[in-house]
A and B are shown apart, each in its own frame.
Chain A
Amino acid sequence: MNPNDLRYTKSHEWISADGTAGVTDHAQHEITDVVFVELPKVGRVCKSAEACCVVESVKAAFDIYTPVSGEIISINTDLSGNPGLVNQSPYEAGWLYKMKISDDSEREKLMTYEQYQEFLKSN
């Protein structure tokens, strides 16, 4: 995925137009080495900003929130054998799940790449 095409949350998740979601490069740096990812069940219907995944490092666990409302339609099963993909490739091989977005306008309201970069700078 090209980071320029994605939308971003203040809690450092990204989501693409087709509903693929993950955590940002900034987030994976903060998390440090990911050792385990707990993914949602396929078919789960989530509201936006609902904790649906847990990403664990050796010393911490982070809740990952849904950027928008929708139904989980697939998950990245490669992560169970290789959780480090989240660190190596947060926007490609390290994606977390794909959702069927209920209302695309929710996604439109999220930050663009440029806005997210500004947000990072201001924090």
Chain B
Amino acid sequence: MNMNSQEKIIEPLLFEKSVPDRAGIPLPASDVPVTLEESHFPASYQRKTPCEWPELSEPQVVRHFTRLSQLNYSIDTHFYPLGSCTMKHNPKVNERLVLLPDFVNLHPLRPHVLSQGILEILFQTEKWLCELCGMDAFTLQPSAGAQGELTGILVGRAYHESRGEKRPVVLIPDSAHGTNPASVAVAGLSVVTVKSTDQGHVDVEDLKAKLNKEVALIMMTVPSTLGLFEPRMAEIAKTVHEAGALVYMDGANLNALVGLVKPGDIGVDILHVNVHKTFSTPHGGGGPGAGPVGVKKHLEDFLPVPRVIKDKDVYRRSLNYPKSIGRVHGFQGNIGVLLRAYCYMRLQGLEGFREMSESAILSANYLRAKLKTLFPKMSKEYCMHEVVVSGEGAFGPGIRTLDVAKRLLDYGFYAPTIYFPLIVPEAMMIEPTENETKETLDSFCQAMEKIIEESKNEPDKLKSAPLTTPVRRLDEVKAARQLNLKYTVNSNL
């Protein structure tokens, strides 16, 4: 690659714009009578080579990151139907409120007398999450869904052990997110996979065959990753409970249920909530999220510490839970994310939440109805908040879901989640959320129709898509074989 050729570079790296001794943000001079030399700071403790950060002016930095931002698709600029990620509108007011100086300056180890405002917010957030989910207690500490899973599994494991039971196995349907088995592994338990039926539901007979005294819990995504509500949920929960195991719900798809169904009412003992999905906090290009975990009464004592408690109108952080699994965050969690979730709950109220979930379900089913003729292998059932289609038999010869996804980018849509769930061949998982207009949904379906036509008449267009994005299809094999994970003047790592 000729690195000197400008057209081969979309936006130079920070390091390529750096000039020695150029000043960035100025800091004031020292106003105290202390110098490094006089103090007790041995040379052997000091840095030998300077930290080679680039040297840029503030206007350069501003332009650089503004230009980078323009290379992204995002909710604010595009329809972003990434299934299972709930890419809904992120209210701008929340961004303003978390930057209130009094929130910004809140040190996490402040004494409670100087943190009553924030503690009230956290206390109420837990209470309302309990109400929406039908749970008895929540911890806000986990930083993301996967850390919530780990927390929930550790809580379940501690519960069984407190009753003198060793249960080393976790049942997971084959349609589950990869984080489920990965979290089970970190929690030191082993995974047994439960099959799905042809309709994509849990194969209850297979589940029953695998359920025994070894099983600590079953992890179910509700609605499932196929966007379907499990029709035999009540029976599953009853069977699992009779075997002495717990029902864990992966709340990734909670956006379909808020205000409509309390997970606690359908037999769920533990769940995590992805607030960056359901409660509208920005996804940030991959985080930060937050993954609060809710439990029924019998599991409350095992939640992480510190917990927020209210004691005679005074809010405190309490460590006094001897059965707790411990701490999962250095302080008390991704509070800035939870603050936004609190604001969102305040904006919605119960009626707002119901309307939200219903609208999400309506929009997904509308997409399903319009796409049905294009995708012959569509599931027979109505979906919840997202629709999963299989590309099998839908496209021209040799065209794969990946090609269609890339071509969608040319039509101005971010691609749906693809090749997931694993049990659907050539899967495409489309989640419109409650925020997209009917007009947008219509034009998405039109684009899909055109692309399928192209896949039959002009397959090369799809094979070489995207054509209009800042860069074309990438050589991922080269990226993995010749690892280059940081800028150096002349070489790869």
Chain A residues close to B by CB (< 8 Å): 33, 35-36, 56, 58-59, 83-84
Known pairs A33-B477, A59-B419, A84-B481; list 11 more (Cβ under 8 Å). A35-B477, A35-B480, A35-B481, A36-B480, A36-B481, A56-B480, A58-B476, A58-B477, A58-B479, A58-B480, A83-B481
Question: CB-CB < 8 A to A35: which residues of B?
Answer: 477, 480-481
Nearest CB on A from B85, distance (A): 18
A36 to B480, CA, bound (A): 8
Report the bound CA distance from A33 to B478 in whole Å.
10
Across the interface, name the chain A residue whose C-beta is closest to B481: A35
Residues of A within 8 A of B481 (CB): 35-36, 83-84
- Please give the residue numbers on chain B whose beta carbons come within 8 Å of chain A beta carbons, in ascending order: 419, 476-477, 479-481
Residue of A nearest to B419 (CB): A59
Q: How far is the CA of A35 from the CA of B481 in the complex (A)?
A: 5
6 A-B pairs whose Cβ atoms sit less than 8 Å apart in the complex: A35-B480, A35-B481, A56-B480, A58-B476, A58-B480, A59-B419
- How far is B483's CA from A56's CA once the two chains are assembled, in angstroms? 14
> For the complex, what is the distance from the CA of A108 to the CA of B481, rounded to whole Å?
37
CA distance A35 to B419 in the complex (A): 20
Query: In the assembled complex, which residues on chain A have CB atoms less than 8 Å from the CB atom of B477?
Result: 33, 35, 58
Complex-state Cα separation, A35 to B480, whole angstroms = 6
Q: In the bound complex, what is the Cα–Cα distance between A35 and B478 (angstroms)? A: 8
Closest to B476 in A: A58
CA distance A59 to B422 in the complex (A): 13
In the bound complex, CA of A56 to CA of B476 (Å) = 13
Q: Which residues of A contact B479 (CB under 8 A)?
A: 58
Q: Give the CA-CA distance A92 to B164 in the complex, in Å.
A: 56
CA distance A98 to B294 in the complex (A): 52
- B480: chain A residues within 8 A (beta carbon): 35-36, 56, 58
Across-interface contacts of A84 in B (CB, < 8 A): 481
Which residues on the B side are within 8 Å of A59 (C-beta)?
Answer: 419
Taking CB atoms, residues of chain B closer than 8 Å to A56 are 480
Cα A83 to Cα B477 in complex, Å, equals 11
Alpha-carbon gap, A59 to B419, bound state (A)? 10
Q: How far is A35 from B483 in the complex, measured between Cα atoms in Å?
A: 10
Complexed CA–CA distance, A84 and B478 (Å):
11
Query: What 5 A-B pairs come out closest when comparing CB atoms?
Result: A35-B480, A33-B477, A58-B476, A35-B481, A58-B480
By beta carbon, the residue of chain B nearest A58 is B476
Nearest neighbor of A82 in chain B, beta-carbon distance: B481
In the assembled complex, how far is the CB of residue A88 from the closest CB belonging to chain B, in whole angstroms? 13
Residues of B within 8 A of A83 (CB): 481
Which of A35, A36, A56, A84 has most B Cβ within 10 Å?
Answer: A35
Using CB atoms, name the residue of chain A closest to B402.
A59
Question: Which residues of A sit under 8 angstroms from B476, Cβ to Cβ?
Answer: 58
CA distance A29 to B424 in the complex (A): 21
Shortest distance between the CB of B483 and any CB in chain A (Å): 9
Most chain A beta-carbon neighbours within 10 Å: one of B419, B476, B477, B479: B477
Complexed CA–CA distance, A84 and B419 (Å): 24
**Cα(A56)–Cα(B479), bound, Å:** 13
* CB of B279 to closest CB in A, whole Å: 31
How far does the Cβ of B416 sit from chain A's closest Cβ, in whole Å?
Answer: 17
Per the bound structure, the CA–CA distance linking A44 and B481 in Å amounts to 27
Complex CA distance for A1 and B364, rounded to whole angstroms: 55
Kindly provide the distance from the CB of B277 to the nearest chain A CB, expressed in whole angstroms.
24
Set of chain B residues within 8 Å of A33, measured between Cβ atoms: 477
Chain B residues with Cβ below 8 Å from A58 are: 476-477, 479-480
Inter-chain CA distance A83–B479, complex, in Å, is: 13
What separation, in Å, do the CA atoms of A36 and B479 have in the docked complex? 12
Q: CA A84 – CA B299 in complex, angstroms? A: 51
In the bound assembly, the distance between CA atoms of A59 and B477 in angstroms comes to: 10
* A111 vs B138: C-alpha distance when bound (angstroms): 57
* CB-CB nearest in chain B for A60: B419
**CA A36 to CA B476, docked complex, whole Å:** 13
CA distance A83 to B480 in the complex (A): 10
Distance in Å from the Cβ of B298 to the closest Cβ of chain A?
Answer: 39
| A56 vs B481: C-alpha distance when bound (angstroms) | 10
Closest to A81 in B: B481
Q: Nearest Cβ in chain B — how far from A25, in angstroms?
A: 19
Alpha-carbon distance A33/B477, docked complex (angstroms): 7
**Cα-based distance from A49 to B298 in the complex (angstroms):** 44
Bound complex: CA A56 to CA B477 (Å): 11
Q: Which of chain A's residues has its CB closest to B482's CB?
A: A35
Nearest Cβ distance between residue A19 and chain B, in whole angstroms? 28
In the assembled complex, how far is the CB of residue A79 from the closest CB belonging to chain B, in whole angstroms?
11
Q: In the complex, what's the smallest C-beta–C-beta distance from B481 to chain A, in angstroms?
A: 5
How far apart sit A12 and B476, CA to CA, in the bound complex (Å)?
25
Return A30 CB to nearest CB of chain B, in Å. Answer: 14
Shortest CB-to-CB span from A75 to chain B, Å, is 19
Q: How far in angstroms is the closest Cβ of chain B from A9?
A: 23
Question: Bound state CA distance, A55 and B274, in angstroms?
Answer: 33
CB distance from A62 to the nearest CB of B (A): 14
